[in-house]
Amino acid sequence: MKRIKFLNCNLDLLNIDETVNFIDDKIQKNQFIQQVVVNVAKIINLQKDTQLFKSVNDSDLINIDGMGIIYGANFLKLDVKKEHKVSGIDLFYSLINLSKDKGYKIFLLGASEEVIKLTNDNLLSKYPNLKIAGYHHGYFWNDEEKIVQKIKNSGSQLLFVAITSPKKENFINKWKKDLNVNFVMGVGGTFDIVAGKIKRAPVWMQNNGLEWVYRIIQEPKRMWKRYLVTNTKYLFFLIKEKLN
């Protein structure tokens, strides 16, 4: 596995099949792996958030989620290819299929009560043989230990955490030794898509780094300012790094 450094963040150059095989190997060996996907927003936020910086860079596997990272890395003459893009939702579905085939138990954590139940129901409807050992919504901050114990007691091997950044990364990094799972990853808004609450961008937009445009179209009031600020900062950091 080749690891590079990009704007103070470690990145592992694996395609999605290599990523799944790497994770499966660790599960079979009963070893723990903390995985995280990194997009432009996370790259920007970890520049100033020391806890997020640690949570991301402490991870065992750090995949690239988004063409913005690919384009930025290429701008800095780093040997990163399009095949190294491993989006969170694509990896999620690949690991769901892996779990179904291998009989791995999974736990779903995050989103609202309505969304997490729909996610559970929709997954079981599509994958009847999938073993979902438990699920819980993402509003549990007054008693984190109770949720950690619930996950531990479930006997799950894979844990998917759909909570906003940086909360999910910091939660995972804080409790990873107590979860008693082999694999844990943050999946962002994946449960909203699985539950049918929002739609994913068309493939041609995914392949050309335009998923952020599609998100603005769906949620203009919430997203336009976020992406304007984030992308402007990203361009600044890239130019600064290039000049250095």
Question: Could you read off the pLDDT tens digit of each residue along the chain, which spans 244 residues?
Answer: 899 999 999 999 999 999 999 999 999 999 999 999 999 999 999 999 999 999 999 999 999 998 999 999 999 999 999 999 999 999 999 999 999 999 999 999 999 999 999 999 999 999 999 999 999 999 999 999 999 999 999 999 999 999 999 999 999 999 999 999 999 999 988 999 999 988 887 888 877 777 777 777 777 777 666 778 888 999 999 999 999 8
Amino acid at 202: P
Instruction: Please enumerate in sequence order all residues whose Cβ is within 8 A of that of 192, keeping only pairs 6 or more positions apart, or say none.
Output: 111, 115, 162, 198
Query: What is the rounded distance in angstroms from the CA atom of residue 80 to the CA atom of residue 159?
Result: 28
Predicted pLDDT of residue 115? 97
3-class state of residue 59 by DSSP: coil
Of 110, 109, 156, 115, which is closest to residue 132 (Cα–Cα)? 156
CA atoms within 13 A on the CB side of 174: 11
Q: What pLDDT score was predicted for residue 211?
A: 77
pLDDT at site 172: 95
| pLDDT number for residue 159 | 98
The sign of the dihedral angle between the CA atoms of 98, 100, 102, 107 is: positive
Rounded (10°) CA dihedral 140, 146, 151, 154: -130
User: Tokens for 78?
Assistant: 């780093």
pTM, two decimal places = 0.92
pLDDT value, residue 193:
94
Distance, CA of 134 to CA of 98 (rounded, Å): 18
Query: How many whole angstroms separate alpha carbon 95 and alpha carbon 146?
Result: 26
Nearest C-alpha neighbor of 5 from the set 60, 71, 76:
76
Strand 9-12 with 131-136, pairing? unpaired
Please report the pLDDT score of residue 60 as a whole number. 97
Residue 243: the pLDDT is: 95
38 Cβ contact partners less than 8 Å away, ≥ 6 residues apart: 9, 11, 56, 62, 63, 64, 65, 69
Cis omega before residue 202 (within 30°)?
A: no
- pLDDT value for 123: 98
Distance CA 211, CA 75 (A): 20
3-state helix, strand, coil in the chain (%, to 5): 55, 15, 30
Q: Residue length, the chain? A: 244
